[in-house]
């Protein structure tokens, strides 16, 4: 463990940035809002796993230099922006469809148990949302610029990677636990059309901003 001590200041700086970014409302939190309220806590936490794993993949890519290469290739970043915008637009369509024809809410066993197929889809949704967001690549490049792991060995990289995963999952899981609480779900039941319509608008705005950002 003594090998990690010289890197702690850099770790703390990187973790502070990650903590703020992962806790801030954005497309991922908007997705968790809809899933937590409509499908419950377990579904939301599975989605959080996908988000955290997607974030970790980008983290690994920046460590390997892939993120830097992507940031230098304008066409690649533009393609990634368009893919991400299309995915957000698809989420907006789904939210608007739920607003028009609200599906049945998951209750009872679904709050604690989830079919494997549904779990895989939720994981994939969270993962896809994260890896198709080019702003996440830029964010991880900013963290990489701090040099938190510069000169470190395998243990340093592994510790940094694992801690980043925990922070990403923990921040999003906190949102999931809050949004899937009984009072929040009860409020959603009373105003689900308005909530889904609002999510549709948010996803549409996110998609437009992502497609037109430079």
Report the chain's terminal Cα–Cα distance, integer Å: 42
Residue 68 domain boundaries: 5-212
Cα distance between residue 168 and residue 32, in whole Å: 14
Structural domain count, the chain = 1
108 band by pLDDT with thresholds 50, 70 and 90: very low
**Centroid of chain to Cα 150:** 26
Quote the tokens at residue 86.
Answer: 């299309």
- Asked whether residue 15 carries a pLDDT value surpassing 50, the answer given is yes
Q: What is the pLDDT of residue 135?
A: 75
Higher pLDDT among residues 189 and 45, named by residue: 45
Angle among Cα 41, 171, 182 to the nearest 5 degrees reads 30
Higher pLDDT among residues 12 and 147, named by residue: 12
70 band by pLDDT with thresholds 50, 70 and 90: low
- Asked whether residue 90 carries a pLDDT value surpassing 90, the answer given is no
Q: What is the pLDDT of residue 141?
A: 78
Higher pLDDT among residues 90 and 104, named by residue: 90
- Asked whether residue 187 carries a pLDDT value surpassing 70, the answer given is yes
Quote the tokens at residue 207.
Answer: 């998609």
Percent of the chain with pLDDT over 70: 90
Q: What is the pLDDT of residue 106?
A: 57
Name the residue with tokens 């702690």: 8
- Asked whether residue 34 carries a pLDDT value surpassing 80, the answer given is yes
Q: What is the pLDDT of residue 46?
A: 95
Integer CA distances (angstroms), 149 to 8, 14, 64, 188, in order? 10, 10, 12, 44
Q: What is the pLDDT of residue 115?
A: 66
- Asked whether residue 110 carries a pLDDT value surpassing 50, the answer given is no
């Amino acid at each position: 463990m003594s090998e990690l001590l010289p890197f702690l200041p850099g770790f703390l700086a990187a973790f502070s940035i990650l903590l703020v970014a992962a806790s801030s409302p954005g497309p991922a939190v908007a997705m968790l809002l809809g899933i937590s309220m409509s499908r419950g806590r377990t579904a939301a936490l599975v989605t959080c796993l996908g988000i955290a794993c997607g974030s970790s993949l980008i983290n690994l890519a920046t460590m390997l230099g892939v993120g830097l290469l992507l940031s230098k290739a304008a066409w690649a970043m533009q393609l990634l922006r368009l893919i991400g915008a299309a995915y957000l637009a698809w989420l907006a369509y789904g939210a608007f469809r739920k607003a028009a024809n609200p599906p049945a809410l998951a209750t009872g066993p679904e709050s604690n148990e989830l079919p494997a197929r549904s779990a895989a889809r939720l994981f994939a949704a969270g993962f896809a949302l994260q890896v198709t967001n080019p702003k996440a690549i830029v964010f991880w490049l900013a963290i990489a610029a701090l040099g938190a792991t510069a000169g470190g060995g395998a243990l340093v990289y592994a510790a940094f990677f694992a801690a980043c995963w925990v922070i990403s999952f923990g921040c999003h899981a906190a949102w999931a636990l809050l949004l899937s609480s009984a009072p929040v779900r009860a409020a959603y039941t009373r105003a689900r059309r308005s909530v889904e319509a609002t999510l549709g608008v948010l996803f549409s705005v996110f998609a437009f901003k992502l497609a037109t950002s430079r």
